[in-house]
Amino acid sequence: MLMMATLLSVTSVLMSGGCTRRLLEDEYIPTAVVPVSINWSASGVPVEEMHRASVWLFPVNGEEPLQYHLEGNLNYREITVPVGVYSILVFNETIDEADWEGITFTGTNHYETFAAMSIPDAGRGLYTRSDTLPLVLTPEPLAVWSLDRFEVTPEMVNSTRSIANTRSGEQRAALENVAPGLTMIKPEPRIKQLTITAYITNLSSSMQVTGTIDGMAAGVYMVSGEKIPSTVTYPFLLNGRVYEDNGKDGTTTRTFNVFGKVSDRKAHQKMTLDILLADGTLYPRETFDATGLMVINPEPVIPTYMVNVGYDNANGDHLTVLPDMGTEGTISVGGWDEVIVPVK
């Protein structure tokens, strides 16, 4: 009898535990119809270049986040949401690795820890001379909007369901009036751009100018915009050229995306330039402390860091002087994209 009683007791506990861990198939979960309206004008991401958009709802009770995707129409969707209190995160694309080449996501189970991170560059290619690791890929444009608290009440369930069932022409406006909070979503950039410009005397004597810049942030927290404190190194190819009237001296430039600078004031940005001359030889590597040279321009939709090297404004000196090989440049901005010469 004692064994039978023990077995019944254990069975009762297991059955009780099972009921608390999962819902019965026919159990009703009240959900409200919530309109999601997104304005991408301040995002820096052209809508025509987007494939999808994501809306994540994080229950404040710690349960698994809910995910919704917008496809086709990336500006509006009506989602069904269970009664509860949520924090909300909206961004372009999804966390699917197929949507990104230069970004991966970590800490996605929690609102505050959700972060976008750089992806290491597996093929170092042109930059085999770099002694700084890791080299990372350039991140794609990323824009984010967040809301710390959004509540779906039982009253919203009945009112939004009745409106949705009418299928009237005023349905969207009526839903936005009953369930406000997600109708003024305006994502903003979570990346910055970096423009590097080098002034070079006898630029026409160079076949290619590559380089690296380190001390840049490895990623960014999606909600706060705070930079990940670890640093990475970006490789770059300066491929836009503008020559002076003599056809020899000029500037070469490149603009690419970065997550920004690390907030730590002790972090420095070191930049190197490797110049491959027209005769196939390497000009001695040049190294610059770009920390003091990096100036932010906040005016564009995506704020831009500006770094200019090779010219000493104080003394009027040209700092990078290549040997004159008797060649003249005919390539202007946007040229030399296809020139690939491995540097070993």
Please list, in sequence order, all residues whose beta carbon lies within 8 angstroms of the beta carbon of residue 80, skipping any fewer than 6 positions away.
Answer: 31, 32, 33, 34
**pLDDT classification of 336: cutoffs 50, 70, 90:** very low
Question: What's the pTM value of the predicted model, to 2 decimals?
Answer: 0.83
Please list, in sequence order, all residues whose beta carbon lies within 8 angstroms of the beta carbon of residue 301, skipping any fewer than 6 positions away.
Answer: 42, 43, 44, 189
pLDDT, tens digit (0-9, with 9 covering 90-100), for 281-321:
999 999 988 888 889 898 899 999 999 998 765 555 667 89
Q: Residue 287: what residue type?
A: T
CA distance 291 to 307: 9
Q: Which H helix or E strand runs over 127?
A: none
* Residue 42, number of CB atoms within 10 A of its CB: 13
Alpha-helical (H) ranges within 38-181 are 154-166, 171-178
Nearest CA to 188 out of 148, 225, 149, 218 is that of: 225
Between these two residues, 1 and 170, which has the higher pLDDT value? Answer: 170
**pLDDT classification of 323: cutoffs 50, 70, 90:** very high
Please give the pLDDT value at position 318: 62
SS3 82: strand
- DSSP category for residue 321: B
pLDDT, tens digit (0-9, with 9 covering 90-100), for 139-162:
999 999 999 999 999 999 988 877
Please give the pLDDT value at position 271: 92
Q: Contact, 33 vs 161, CB < 8 A?
A: yes
Please give the pLDDT value at position 129: 56
Residue 55 has pLDDT above 70, yes or no: yes
DSSP 263-303: S-TT---EEEEEEEETTSPEEEEEEEE-TTT-EEE--SSS-
CA distance 217 to 229: 6
Q: Contact, 53 vs 90, CB < 8 A?
A: yes
Residue 108 has pLDDT above 60, yes or no: yes
CA distance 217 to 227: 6
pLDDT, tens digit (0-9, with 9 covering 90-100), for 13-42:
333 333 333 444 555 689 999 999 999 999
Q: What is the mean pLDDT of residues 238-244?
A: 93
Q: Which H helix or E strand runs over 186?
A: none
